[in-house]
């Protein structure tokens, strides 16, 4: 990135933000060191070094961000969070859509203040379930779940794996297929407005927490409930009760696998019979980087495509991300295993014996179709073997 003159920090910061939007970055990191301010973009889930700003402009650049985010510029000793306003939000030419929101977080370090700007893009395509990239089997199962009158769908995966996007697409599908349904979403924070859905902002620092809101909402006669995340045993208990008493409920949990999510509910004190009766399915998903169509090349020995690098993808070899997923529906053998409170290894064995397709096996279709690489798949799944 071409550096602006030192005395024009305002333009420098705006150039960094604009370039990030042009590239489709999800986050911008401003990391202070002993001698400089390092600027990095998170592109397709991976941080890439973009620029090194001189120490002389370090504090002024962070101060400018704080002005844009309506933060206290004179407080450099406390964490602060805000939204960047007052900047035009053009559409990204890479197909990422118009920027809906820019969230700023500033944190004090021994070398000065560290800042991260998170970008949220508008992408109407991601509101459509069929555009997310699920396999035919999983997409069909999700459509079937959306047509139910009660039950629970849990989404698992690490942060940044697209769980919120999947939930949004599911809500959009329900709205289009079953207009008039009473739908309420509890979110922390609300990332995008969805017309036709009653959205509630949850905050752990206020009295409006997930358990409080969920318990009250059950008296509001909702038909469909979306909970941003099940974080504790109290929320889990109320969610299970809702799924057992005539509500269609979907939520996320932080877990590395479908089996792990089910066992985590047991660890939270949920009775096994409630889990087997209330949970319909668990969806585990990841996002892997998509090969850049302009520069990907075939390996003559393996016949598979590999990343190369070009200006269009900032020499990373990848542009955009694609979804891989596994879905576990609670059938008779799995319910029996849960009622017996078996361990993780046994639960995984039960799934394998009944033909469950795991994340790695689902990702093989993407490697074969030259969408991603074997290395990317192995990194996402934590293994290089099926």
Question: What local confidence, expressed as pLDDT, does residue 254 receive?
Answer: 86
The predicted-structure confidence for 139-167, as pLDDT tens digits, reads as follows 999 999 999 999 999 999 988 899 989 99
Question: What local confidence, expressed as pLDDT, does residue 380 receive?
Answer: 87
Higher pLDDT, 95 or 50: 50
Return the beta strands (E) in the chain as ranges. 27-32, 36-43, 46-54, 80-83, 91-92, 97-109, 112-121, 151-156, 183-187, 198-201, 224-227, 248-253, 279-291, 297-298, 305-306, 318-329
Q: Does the pLDDT of residue 118 top 50, yes or no?
A: yes
Question: What local confidence, expressed as pLDDT, does residue 5 receive?
Answer: 46
Question: What local confidence, expressed as pLDDT, does residue 88 receive?
Answer: 60
Residue 4 pLDDT class (50, 70, 90 cuts): very low
Higher pLDDT, 206 or 153: 153
The predicted-structure confidence for 329-357, as pLDDT tens digits, reads as follows 999 999 999 999 999 999 999 998 888 88
Q: Among 84-88, 199-203, 235-239, 338-342, which is the least confidently predicted range?
A: 84-88
Residues 237-264: what's their mean pLDDT?
A: 93
Q: Does the pLDDT of residue 197 top 70, yes or no?
A: yes
Q: Among 149-163, 183-197, 297-311, 336-350, which is the least confidently predicted range?
A: 183-197
Residue 1 pLDDT class (50, 70, 90 cuts): low
Q: Which helix (H) or strand (E) holds 18?
A: helix 9-23
Integer Cα distance of 52 and 375 in angstroms: 29
58-68 helix and 9-23 helix, angle to the nearest 10 degrees: 70
Question: What local confidence, expressed as pLDDT, does residue 87 receive?
Answer: 67
Higher pLDDT, 91 or 167: 167
Residue 173 pLDDT class (50, 70, 90 cuts): very high
Integer Cα distance of 286 and 363 in angstroms: 10
Residues 100-121: what's their mean pLDDT?
A: 93
């Amino acid at each position: 990135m071409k550096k602006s003159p030192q005395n024009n920090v305002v333009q420098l910061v705006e150039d960094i933000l604009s370039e990030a939007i042009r590239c489709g970055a999800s986050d911008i990191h401003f990391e202070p060191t002993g001698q400089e301010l390092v600027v990095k973009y998170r592109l397709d889930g991976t941080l890439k070094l973009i620029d090194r700003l001189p120490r002389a402009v370090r504090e002024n650049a962070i101060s400018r961000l704080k002005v844009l985010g309506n933060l206290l510029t004179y407080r450099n000793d406390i964490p602060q969070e805000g939204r960047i306003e007052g900047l035009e939000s053009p559409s990204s030419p890479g197909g990422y859509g118009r920027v809906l929101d820019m969230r700023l977080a500033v944190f004090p370090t021994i070398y000065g203040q560290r800042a991260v700007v998170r970008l949220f893009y508008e992408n109407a395509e991601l509101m459509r379930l069929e555009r997310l990239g699920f396999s035919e089997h999983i997409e069909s199962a999700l459509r079937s779940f959306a047509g139910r009158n009660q039950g629970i769908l849990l989404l698992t995966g690490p942060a940044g794996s697209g769980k919120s996007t999947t939930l949004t697409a599911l809500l959009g599908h329900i709205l289009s297929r079953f207009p008039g349904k009473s739908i309420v979403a509890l979110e922390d924070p609300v990332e995008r407005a969805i017309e036709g859905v009653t959205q509630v902002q949850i905050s752990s620092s206020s009295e409006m927490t997930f358990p409080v809101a969920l318990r009250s909402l059950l008296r509001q006669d909702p038909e469909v409930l979306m909970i941003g995340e099940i974080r504790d045993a109290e929320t889990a208990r109320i969610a299970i009760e809702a799924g057992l008493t005539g509500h269609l409920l979907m939520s996320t949990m932080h877990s590395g696998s479908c089996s792990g999510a089910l066992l985590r509910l047991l660890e939270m004190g949920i009775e096994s019979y409630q889990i087997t009766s209330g949970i319909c399915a668990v969806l585990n998903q990841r996002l892997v980087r998509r090969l850049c169509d302009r520069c990907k090349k075939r390996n003559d020995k393996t016949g598979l495509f590999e990343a190369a690098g070009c200006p269009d993808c900032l020499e990373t070899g990848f542009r955009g991300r694609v979804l891989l997923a596994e879905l576990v529906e609670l059938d008779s053998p799995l319910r029996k295993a849960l009622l017996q409170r078996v361990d993780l290894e046994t639960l995984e064995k039960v799934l394998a014996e009944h033909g469950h397709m795991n994340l790695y096996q689902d990702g093989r279709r993407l490697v074969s179709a030259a969408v991603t690489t074997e290395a990317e798949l192995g990194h996402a799944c934590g293994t290089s073997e099926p």
